[in-house]
Homo-oligomer: A and B are copies of this chain.
């Protein structure tokens, strides 16, 4: 185990922090359009930094990939709180499931990375589950308690089902995935026990 996370040592220069953020943002956009094998130079250029800067922060490509994915997981989890404060339990759940679906769909190279055999990605699936499962579980419980959906759905099952649903790529695939997701959401509603 390396202690590279959660150790905010002394002080990191402000520009270094800015650049790290810019790199993650640039990598996110480029990974989404060109996959995780996109040229390093392209990422550095979009972030407005030199490749040297990129390499100091992310010595291996996998560091960048892991960083981007964790960041997007966090953003997706955070969206749940936003939806919860903004909508009722049922709508919050619906909105979040669509948000989660979007997360999956835009991850071109995710499956490829996970199956690449590179041990650097071993921790990713656990991170996904550790963050998404409690989030969805909470949303499901709230909606079920409000009588808006059925109460016998396992969060992890649903996460995996949507993941499988979205495994067919392509532009028309996105349409298909969206329709199937709405079908599932209707299915959740159908079994609701109105109080």
Contact = CB atoms under 8 A, between A and B. Distances in A.
Contacts of A171: none
Quickly give the copy total for this chain.
2
Interface string A152-174: 00000000000000000100000
Interface residues of A, number: 10
A169 B115 contact: no
A126 B115 CA distance: 19
A195 interface: no
A117 B108 CA distance: 8
A156 to B, nearest CB: 18
A147 interface: no
Contacts of A109: 117
A112 interface: yes
A35 B111 CA distance: 17
A20 to B, nearest CB: 28
A116 interface: yes
Interface string A107-132: 01101101111000000000000000
Ranked 3 nearest A-B pairs via Cβ: A111-B115, A115-B115, A112-B116
